[in-house]
Amino acid sequence: PHTAVIIPAAGRGVRLGPGIPKALRLLNGVPILVHAVRAMAAARSVATVIVVAPSDGAEGVRALLDEHPPPRPVHVQVVPGGETRQESVRLGLAALPADADVVLVHDAARPLVPVDTVEAVAAAVRAGSPAVVPALPVTDTIKQIAAPGPGGGAPEPVTGTPDRSLLRAVQTPQGFAPDALLDAHERFAGLGGAEGASDDAGMVERLGLPVVLVPGHEEAFKVTRPLDLVLAEAVLARRRI
Ligand code: CTP
Ligand code: MG
């Protein structure tokens, strides 16, 4: 079995605040991206990792990954990314090895995903699901609004409250049969904004293929806002004990 991983890492990390791109920020002295590559390389079926770097920073990312090689012999490739996450994944897919039988797409911004979660997603694809997504029940009640307001704290009218027991928050790595993800990206290339997909499985859903959820993990949370860095360092400190 050959699992190939695409790690989109080309975002700026606007919500984290000003500074270097999010994937290059340090967690306990090691770049977030290096943690993410190690987490994926820990899974035994993973033989290839394709890192999608900021388009003006691919050489620096290459040097960084040469400095911090993964603990297992894994082929690590670096390609330049695009303007949107979807475009970055598409550019990563162009480097997919032909013999991969599972492709995982994993946010660089989820550096602490446990290896068991990675293995469970890959195993479910290998068992025959074309698209597999790790997910957790949502803990906050979710309100629906008609459209985003003008911002600046202006009140937003509520239009509904979906039944929380039927909602799931999705994580990565999302796993796919390679043809399913390749077809989805070919079909929906170039769609942006509300038409674009904020996750890869959403595109495969639109092809009409079945998507299944498997249990996610709290430690697969996405580093998005400054408080998430505090949480990530606390998780790492706890792992060392
Ligand atoms: N990503 C990417 N290319 C983009 C945008 C995002 O590869 N053009 C990647 C990010 O690097 C990240 C993952 O997609 O690993 C999830 O995106 P997100 O958490 O939103 O990261 P950013 O887009 O960098 O953050 P923000 O939205 O706060 O700017
Ligand atoms: Mg983003």
Q: What percent of the chain has pLDDT over 70?
A: 97
Kindly indicate the confidence band of residue 18, based on its pLDDT and cuts at 50, 70 and 90.
Answer: very high
**Model ipTM value:** 0.99
Hey, what are 69's tokens?
Answer: 């090689």
31 within domain boundaries: yes
Rounded to the nearest angstrom, the distance between the alpha carbon of 19 and the centre of ligand 1 is 14
From 40, 79, 107, the mutation candidate for ligand 1 (largest count of ligand atoms within 8 A of CB) is 107
pLDDT one-digit tens code per residue, 77-97: 999 999 999 999 999 999 999
In this structure, the strands spanning 131-137 and 212-215 are parallel
The helix/strand/coil state of 229 is helix
Could you tell me the two tokens for 211? 């998507």
Tell me: pLDDT of 170 over 70: yes
The pLDDT assigned to 110 comes to 98
Which atom, in ligand 1's list, is nearest to the CA of 23?
A: 11
The separation between CA 11 and the C-alpha centre of its own chain, rounded to angstroms, equals 11
Query: What is the domain range of residue 207?
Result: 3-135+171-240
CB-neighbour burial class of residue 22 (10 A; exposed 0-12, middle 13-18, buried 19+): buried
Output the domain CATH number for residue 15. 3.90.550.10
Kindly state whether residue 63 falls inside one of the protein's structural domains: yes
Q: DSSP assignment of 28-57, as one string?
A: TTEEHHHHHHHHHHTSTTEEEEEEEE-TT-
At residue 77, φ and ψ (nearest 5 deg) are -115, 150
The C-alpha atoms of residue 76 and residue 46 are separated, in whole angstroms, by 11
Q: Which three-class secondary structure string do you get for 163-207?
A: CHHHCEEECCCEEECHHHHHHHHHHHCCCCHHHCCCCHHHHHHHC
**Could you read off the pLDDT of 60-79 as tens digits, one per residue?**
999 999 999 998 999 999 99
Place of tokens 């002295």: 29
Whether pLDDT at 241 is above 80: no
Ligand nearest to the CA of 13: 1
Percent of the chain with pLDDT over 90: 91
Does residue 89 sit within a domain?
yes
Residue 144 belongs to a domain: no
Q: What is the pLDDT of residues 43-55, one digit of tens each?
A: 999 999 999 999 9
Torsion over CA: 53, 57, 59, 65 (sign): negative
Q: Would you state the pLDDT for residue 137?
A: 98
- Asked whether residue 74 is assigned to any structural domain, the reply reads yes
Enumerate residues lining ligand 1, CB below 6 A.
8-15, 22-23, 52, 81-85, 88, 107-109, 222, 224
Residue bearing the CA closest to ligand 1, atom 8: 84
Number of domains in the chain: 1
Residue 154 resides in a domain: no
* Exposed e or buried b per residue across 205-229, where buried means at least 16 C-beta atoms within 10 angstroms of its C-beta: beeebebeeeebbebbbbbbeeeeb
Q: Tens digits of per-residue pLDDT, 196-207? A: 567 899 999 999
Q: What is the mean pLDDT of the chain?
A: 95
Lowest mean pLDDT among 11-20, 56-65, 144-153, 202-211: 144-153
> What pLDDT score was predicted for residue 149?
82
Residue 151 has a pLDDT of: 86
In 3D space, the residue among 100, 111, 119, 116 whose CA is nearest the CA of residue 68 turns out to be 111
Residue 193: pLDDT over 90: no
In a domain, 142, yes or no: no
Report the alpha-carbon distance of residue 81 to residue 66 in Å, rounded: 19
Point out the ligand 1 atom lying closest to the alpha carbon of residue 108.
Answer: 15
User: Counting every residue, how long is the chain?
Assistant: 241
Task: Using alpha carbons, list the distances in angstroms from residue 82 to 24, 26, 49, 60, 61.
Answer: 17, 23, 18, 16, 15
- pLDDT at 194 (0 to 100): 54
Q: Give domain status of residue 163, yes or no.
A: no
